[in-house]
Amino acid sequence: MVPVAVIGASGYTGLELLKILARHPEFELVYVATSEGETTTQALHPSLEKVVQLPVEKADAAAVAEVAQLAFLALPHKTAMGFAKELLERGVKVVDLSADYRLKLDAYEAHYCPHEDKSHLPEAAYGLPEFYRQSIAKSRLVANPGCYPTASLLGLLPFIPYIKEDTPIFIDAKSGVSGAGKKLSAATHYVTINENIFAYNPIKHRHAPEIAEKIDDLFLTQVQVNFVPHLLPLTRGMLCSIYMQLEKPLDPLAILQDLYAEEPFVRVREKPVDVKSVAGTNFCDIYAVCNGTSLFITSAIDNLLRGASSQAVVNANLVCGFEETLGIPTFACVP
């Protein structure tokens, strides 16, 4: 068993990490921390009573290094890179769920803040296994993608070779409210969201540059990515509806099948996908259809799992040389 740590256990992605790791056949959860510590997993998350009952420490890199070989960081942007740096210097491998290692330096500093771990940034692997499996397996630092880029990239990357030159991509993303985290806000008050739907930060959301950068990285193509997230009345799940223009008509399901048939965590569907069928799992379900040279792609994930915690454990499996599918949830919360 490989001893692992979870730093940042109080939020929703921290909870999902605890739930996956507590059942994982090869990882042993030896250290759990929050910024404050002095509690237990079941006090933080009452649903873990009689299930996962571990002490929760005040996060400390030195203490992690003493007991764990790999750490999952479920921390806010900026806080994460401070910990990551210290852990890497102490020989602990890191899977970081924040944005801190997802972008190249310039893009990061343009959209977030000055980077405080420039030394390790270049060696971070982007944790989207279907497209970066090799580099993840060789890395000791994985930048776990955001939920929006995960669903968007898995849907649109197969079609980048066929995109019509100089045309933009439009991504209409719909997210469950858990994506906004546990922090209270008027936008996530029950009365605001129930019986409602609205876009937020349209066009200006900072996941657009993450998507554009990976398209460029993989296909050496600059594409204008127009990203519009919407908040809707459900807790878990994310649906991305992607609109593109192609050079010429094609059979989109055949292209998806060619690329993904053997992938354990992508399902190419013959009908429009829904979020329920993936909620609770690491699957990304995808469907696409053309109208002449206009292409519509729809992809669905669980924002907290494939969009965060279960993908993080897949990455940890790769980093540690385990079978990619080991201990990863595949049974959906249906009905």
Q: Which residues, numbered 291-320, are part of the site for a copy of itself (CB under 8 A)?
A: 291-292, 294, 296, 298, 300, 304
Q: What are phi and psi of 162, to 5 degrees?
A: -110, 5
174 binds a copy of itself (CB under 8 A): yes
140, 146, 150, 153: CA torsion to nearest 10: -100
| Binding to a copy of itself, residues 190-249 (CB under 8 A) | 190-200, 202-203, 224, 226, 228, 230, 232-237, 239, 241, 243, 245
Binding span for a copy of itself by CB under 8 A among 82-90, 135-143, 250-258, 276-284:
276-284
Q: Which of 91, 165, 184, 321 binds a copy of itself (CB under 8 A)?
A: 184
Please state the closest distance from residue 221 (CB atom) to a copy of itself, in A. Answer: 17
Please state the closest distance from residue 274 (CB atom) to a copy of itself, in A. Answer: 4
Joined tokens for residue 120:
């390790």
Judge contact between 213 and 107, C-beta under 8 A: yes
Q: What are phi and psi of 85, to 5 degrees?
A: -55, -50
Total residues contacting a copy of itself by CB under 8 A comes to: 81
Q: Which of 35, 38, 43, 47 binds a copy of itself (CB under 8 A)?
A: 47
Burial of 77: CB neighbours in 10 Å, binned 0-12, 13-18, 19+: middle
Q: What residue type is assigned to position 106 of the chain?
A: D
| Binding to a copy of itself, residues 2-21 (CB under 8 A) | 12, 15, 19
24 binds a copy of itself (CB under 8 A): no
**Which residues, at least 6 apart from 191, have a Cβ–Cβ distance to it below 8 Å?**
none
Joined tokens for residue 180:
């906004």
330 binds a copy of itself (CB under 8 A): yes
Q: Which of 104, 264, 320, 326 binds a copy of itself (CB under 8 A)?
A: 264
**Distance of CA 100 to CAs 104, 241, 262, Å?**
10, 26, 31
Please state the closest distance from residue 180 (CB atom) to a copy of itself, in A. Answer: 8
* Closer of 119 and 224 to a copy of itself (Cβ): 224
Total residue count of the chain as it appears in this document? 335
Q: Which of 27, 72, 126, 283 binds a copy of itself (CB under 8 A)?
A: 283
* Closer of 28 and 274 to a copy of itself (Cβ): 274
113 counts as catalytic:
no
Please state the closest distance from residue 7 (CB atom) to a copy of itself, in A. Answer: 20
Residue 75: CA count within 13 A, CB half-sphere: 26
Query: How far apart, in whole angstroms, are the C-alpha atoms of residue 200 and residue 173?
Result: 10
25 binds a copy of itself (CB under 8 A): no
255 binds a copy of itself (CB under 8 A): no
Q: 175: helix, coil or strand?
A: strand
**Which residues, at least 6 apart from 106, have a Cβ–Cβ distance to it below 8 Å?**
none
Residues acting as catalytic residues: 147
